[in-house]
Amino acid sequence: MRNYILKHFNELSVNELHEFMALRQTVFIVEQNCPYLDADFKDPESYHLYFKNSAGKIVAYSRLVPEGISYPGYTSIGRVVVHPQIRQTGAGKQLMEESIRACIHCFGKIPIKISAQSYLEHFYTSFGFRKVSEPYMEDDIPHIAMVLEMS
C-alpha cells in the first residue's frame, strides 16, 4: 500500500508543481508524442494527489477537478499518470482507487466524469465507470467519456 499525498493547488510547493508538470509531460507529451497545452488553467482550482518513491520523486499523480470546471454537474479525475518505471506494479489501480476516494472526500458524492483514452476503457470500467459517449479524438488520441455515479 502506497501513502498518497493530497493537496490543493494553493498548498503545493514550487518543486511539487514542477515535478507534476515534468511527469505529465514525460508521459503525455513525449512518450505519447502528443503536443497539447498541459497548463490548461484547471490546476489552480484543483486538488492534486500523488505518490513519491523511496528516493522522494513523484511517480504517480492525478488531478481532481471540482464540479463545473471540466463538466457541468460532474467532478472529474484527470491527468492520471504513472511513471514508466513503476507500471505493471498495481500503482495505476491504486492511484485510481485513491483518486475516487479523494474526490468523494473533497467534493462529496457528486458523479465523476472522465475523458478516458479509449484503450483504457476496460481499466476504468473495473472501477465502476461506464461509457457515455462514442469515441472521439482529443489531441489526436481516441477517447471516450465515462461516468462513475455515486450512490
* pLDDT mean by block of 10 residues, the chain; 151 residues: 89 95 92 87 97 92 97 97 92 96 97 96 97 94 96 75
User: Which residues neighbour 76 within 8 Å (Cβ) at sequence distance 6 or greater?
Assistant: 64, 65, 69, 70, 112, 113, 114
| Domain residue spans of the chain | 5-111
Cβ distance 51 to 91 under 8 Å? yes
pLDDT at 36: 84
Domain 5-111 has CATH 3.40.630.30: yes
Full-model pTM: 0.94
